[in-house]
Amino acid sequence: MTPIQAKRRVQAKRRDGPARVAIVGAGVSGLGIGWRLAQAGVGVDVFERDRAGSGASDAAAGMLAAGVECEPGEEALLALTLLGRQLWPAFRDELEAASGLSVGYRDEGTLVVATTQDDARRLRFLTEFQQGLGLALDWLTGSEARRLEPHLKPGIAAAVFSAADHQVDNRLLVQALKLAFTRAGGRLHEGRAVTGLLAQGGRARGLQLGGESHEADAVVLAAGAWSRLLPGLPEADQPPVRPVKGQMLALAMDPARPLLERVLWAPGVYLVPRRDGRLLIGATVEEQGFDGSLTAGGLYALLEATRRVLPAIEDLAVAETWVGFRPTSRDDAPILGPGRLAGLWHATGHHRNGILLAPVTAAALSDAILGRPAMPALAGFGPERFAAPARPLEAAAGARP
Amino acid sequence: MSVTSMPTASGSGEDALHIAGEAFRSRLIAGSSLYPNQQVMLDAIAASGAELVTVSIRRMSLEGYEEGPLDLLGERYRLLPNTAGCETLRDALLTAELARESLETNWLKLELIGDRETLYPDVLQLVEATETLVKEGFVVLPYCNDDPVACLRLADAGAAAVMPLGSPIGSGMGLCNPYNIEIVCRQSPVPVILDAGIGTASDAARAMELGCAAVMLNTAIAKARDPVVMAGAMRDAVAAGRAARLAGRIPRLDHAEASSPRLGLIGS
Ligand SMILES: Cc1cc2nc3c(=O)[nH]c(=O)nc-3n(C[C@H](O)[C@H](O)[C@H](O)COP(=O)(O)OP(=O)(O)OC[C@H]3O[C@@H](n4cnc5c(N)ncnc54)[C@H](O)[C@@H]3O)c2cc1C
């Protein structure tokens, strides 16, 4: 420990925050929270049963698309995703400085294209909804879209450009968080599965790791799609989170002659071009539990939808295929805040937004654990929103008793 | 004036939907796909008043897991598995067997799509599949064309209800051929459930006014700006359309007829 870290730790103690925090899961959530707490001088241990990032965090596409992804029914979530988008540039700068790594942030924006008149009608409906929420989106003609991305096949019916929806290389992000966290004094334990939550006297006391126990003043549940399954979680603290399967693949473009500059959404697919030449193609959304298989139908649907807009992909080599599990809460919004059990904190349920929300998650949980005032945008995203039945069945006339 | 045979409302206010000997209070059958998220899905289905909820079993794990859609819906509603995504008789039979084993219901909404572009049903295979599945002990509700003859053939094959489309799946075009739907309703020996194409509440009311026993809908609720509010509108529309059907509408006339009393002009 450097003298500065030692001094910070003393300060943290003086503020009566917890001195030792144990975190379950080394995805972007667990590592981001760990980094912020370690920066504040707290002693942090992150336990990861596999490798850091091996859950959803390495599987993601890294889109920071608060704008074009906003759907009816998710108006409340928008406040949070917009905050994520706003915090990202400063978060990137600080993280790159702390880790010495680039996170591959690209700010060329996101283009959404419609290929048929029906697609254009759907896109118009969605865009009007999004513009009604104050999002800045430009409606383009097909030829304007093709001027931005000349490899697009002719026959684009309409398009929308969002200049503020960017992307980051989520795998580089995991590596950078890992370094920043350990450089700030945090301890990362990879290949260490947490086998239970330890609680005593109505408080979380630490974690069980096979035969060993690890004591802590606070425990953070950041185990992604597996968060519900941690043994020893009291029933009232089992978050309503399930895995939502996503199949993806990457093609290898010539980095000097990429087929795309911007993130592209087309009917049935999105494409994310990386600086290293990888073209990410995603993603299926499947209610298949933890079934990790790549299916013919899944890959076919992604490739077919891609070929319809970007025919030049036919010559590209397939670089990689994979499956990830989105940690999806019942309302698709993250669950951030104190559990029922004292000393237990939830940081899960991010669904398809965990990369976008990484700066928010890190700030929200570290502020809360250190007893700092909460950011106003966080109101309503705690675990307590699921505690009471969201809507008593009798309230809806005609519902089954 | 033509006199059509109208069902009459039973005075008790009990007007149950009967399918295969079972009674349901709600005449709205809800789908479970395409919602923005599961909370909205649960809230919307609750607001719709539906008792029967369809699930696309080829698109989800049948093993069931906590917080999964089958578990959440199964706790609250009677599930009606469908064979969405099946294109051959064989696929449909296999899927039906899987559904019966894992969901413990022999009810089945039979979907056999003949063309991926229009998603129109494959009527030839549908009749054969209905016959086979009924023999295998299933209660079969086939999704079919708005073709009166096809609907009769399906009923002959043992369908417990027929589910003709109003317009192509997800199109929201409403009832493209209300005359056919009316004929199907008049002729069908089994309940007619309008399926597919509903865009907004008046479409659902119209289907009920034409004589449908129930309406099945998914996209119109799930993809509305506010799915929960739209679900409530659909519940009311189905109830209103049913009541109007039972009440019996006035005849359509070519000319105005003053509604103020003209006492003493004609009659006693
Ligand atoms: C195909 C796909 C595409 C996506 N695209 C995007 C996108 O473009 N933009 C975006 O913002 N988000 C995207 N997401 C969502 C994003 O990946 C997640 O929301 C985010 O990674 C969640 O991070 P996390 O740290 O909470 O969970 P995870 O990254 O899943 O980390 C949880 C970790 O906990 C570990 N763990 C679990 N149980 C235990 C235990 N008992 N002991 C020890 N360790 C344990 C796991 O091994 C895992 O490493 C996508 C997701 C998928 C699947």
Question: How would residue B4 be classed by pLDDT, with cut points 50, 70 and 90?
Answer: very low
Residue B61 lies in a domain: yes
Residue B104 lies in a domain: yes
Which regions of B39-148 does DSSP assign to beta strands (E)?
52-56, 78-82, 107-110, 139-144
Are residues A126 and A180 part of one domain?
no
Are residues A253 and A114 part of one domain?
yes
Are residues A288 and A264 part of one domain?
yes
pLDDT at res. A371: 93
Domain assignment of residue A314, given as a range: 107-165+242-329
Residue A342 lies in a domain: yes
Are residues A349 and A309 part of one domain?
no
Nearest to B43 among A129, A391, A400 (CB): A391
Residue A93 lies in a domain: no
Residue A70 lies in a domain: no
Percent of chain B's residues with pLDDT above 90: 70
Residue A50 lies in a domain: yes
pLDDT at res. A21: 97
Residue nearest to atom 35 of ligand 1 (CA): A25
Question: How would residue A5 be classed by pLDDT, with cut points 50, 70 and 90?
Answer: low
Convert the pLDDT of each residue in A69-105 to its tens digit.
Answer: 998 888 889 999 999 999 999 999 999 999 999 999 9
- Residues B37, A332: C-beta atoms closer than 8 Å: yes
Domain at A31, CATH number: 3.50.50.60
Q: Give the minimum alpha-carbon distance from A228 to chain B in angstroms, rounded to a whole number.
A: 9
Residue A286 lies in a domain: yes
Spatial contact of A33 and A178, defined as CB atoms under 8 Å apart: no
pLDDT at res. A41: 95
Q: Does the pLDDT value for residue A201 go beyond 50?
A: yes
Spatial contact of B91 and B50, defined as CB atoms under 8 Å apart: no
Ligand 1 mutation target, pool A175, A345, A352, most atoms within 8 A of CB = A352
Convert the pLDDT of each residue in B128-140 to its tens digit.
Answer: 999 999 999 999 9
- Residues B60, A288: C-beta atoms closer than 8 Å: yes
Between A103 and B60, name the one with better pLDDT. A103
One-letter amino acid at A216 equals A
Q: Does the pLDDT value for residue A1 go beyond 90?
A: no
Alpha-carbon B166 to chain mean position: 10
Question: How would residue A6 be classed by pLDDT, with cut points 50, 70 and 90?
Answer: low
Nearest to B65 among A72, A289, A330 (CB): A289
- Ligand 1 centroid distance, CA of A38 (Å): 21
Ligand 1 mutation target, pool A51, A166, A219, A226, most atoms within 8 A of CB = A226
The whole-number average pLDDT for the span A32-54 is 97
The whole-number average pLDDT for the span A139-163 is 95
Convert the pLDDT of each residue in B193-233 to its tens digit.
Answer: 999 999 999 999 999 999 999 999 999 999 999 999 999 99
- Packing angle, helices B123-135 and B89-103, rounded to 10: 40
Are residues A131 and A20 part of one domain?
no
Whole-angstrom distance, CA of residue B268 vs CA of residue B252: 25
pLDDT at res. B261: 64
Residue A390 lies in a domain: no
Q: Does the pLDDT value for residue A153 go beyond 90?
A: yes
Convert the pLDDT of each residue in B144-182 to its tens digit.
Answer: 999 999 999 999 999 999 999 999 888 999 999 999 999
Are residues A311 and A257 part of one domain?
yes
Of A199-208, A379-388, B182-191, B256-265, least confident by mean pLDDT is: B256-265
Are residues A319 and A253 part of one domain?
yes
- Ligand 1 centroid distance, CA of A354 (Å): 7
Q: Please give the C-alpha separations between residue B145 and each of A36, B88, B175, B217, in angstroms, as whole numbers.
A: 60, 17, 12, 16
Which residues in B have their CB inside 8 Å of a CB on A? 25-26, 35-40, 42-43, 46-47, 49, 51, 59-61, 63, 65-69, 72, 76-77, 223-227, 232, 235
Q: Does the pLDDT value for residue A390 go beyond 60?
A: no
Q: Cis omega before residue A60 (within 30°)?
A: no
pLDDT at res. B169: 87
Residue A391 lies in a domain: no
DSSP state of B157: T
Whole-angstrom distance, CA of residue B140 vs CA of residue B129: 9
Are residues A335 and A233 part of one domain?
yes
**Number of independent structural domains in chain B:** 1
pLDDT at res. A119: 93
pLDDT at res. A258: 96
pLDDT at res. B110: 96
Q: Does the pLDDT value for residue A296 go beyond 90?
A: yes
**Number of independent structural domains in chain A:** 2
Residue nearest to atom 14 of ligand 1 (CA): A352
DSSP state of A374: P
Domain at B76, CATH number: 3.20.20.70
Are residues A130 and A265 part of one domain?
yes
Are residues A319 and A257 part of one domain?
yes
Which of A314, A329, A344 corresponds to the end of one domain?
A329
Domain at A306, CATH number: 3.30.9.10
Convert the pLDDT of each residue in A307-321 to its tens digit.
Answer: 999 999 999 999 999
Domain assignment of residue B67, given as a range: 17-246
Q: Which residues of B are catalytic?
A: 109
**DSSP-derived 3-state class of residue A236:** helix
Note the pTM of the prediction, 2 decimals. Answer: 0.88
Convert the pLDDT of each residue in A320-373 to its tens digit.
Answer: 999 999 999 999 999 999 999 999 999 999 999 999 999 999 999 999 999 999
Between A283 and A10, name the one with better pLDDT. A283
Residue B76 lies in a domain: yes
| Four-point Cα dihedral B37, B39, B41, B45, nearest 10 | -170
Ligand 1, CB cutoff 6 Å, lining residues: A 24-30, 47-50, 54-57, 59-63, 193-194, 222-226, 230, 246, 248, 282-283, 324-327, 348, 350, 352-356
Alpha-carbon A321 to chain mean position: 20
Nearest to B227 among A73, A390, A400 (CB): A73
Q: Give the minimum alpha-carbon distance from A175 to chain B in angstroms, rounded to a whole number.
A: 31
Q: Does the pLDDT value for residue B84 go beyond 90?
A: no
Whole-angstrom distance, CA of residue A158 vs CA of residue A147: 13
Question: How would residue B10 be classed by pLDDT, with cut points 50, 70 and 90?
Answer: very low
Are residues A183 and A43 part of one domain?
yes
Q: Taking all residues of chain A, what is their mean pLDDT, rounded to a whole number?
A: 92
Residue A177 lies in a domain: yes
Q: Taking all residues of chain B, what is their mean pLDDT, rounded to a whole number?
A: 89
Whole-angstrom distance, CA of residue A97 vs CA of residue A76: 33
Q: Does the pLDDT value for residue A392 go beyond 50?
A: no
pLDDT at res. B78: 95
pLDDT at res. B264: 59
What value does the CA radius of gyration of chain B take, rounded to a whole number of Å?
20
Are residues A265 and A211 part of one domain?
no
Q: Does the pLDDT value for residue B266 go beyond 90?
A: no
The whole-number average pLDDT for the span B97-126 is 90
pLDDT at res. A401: 37
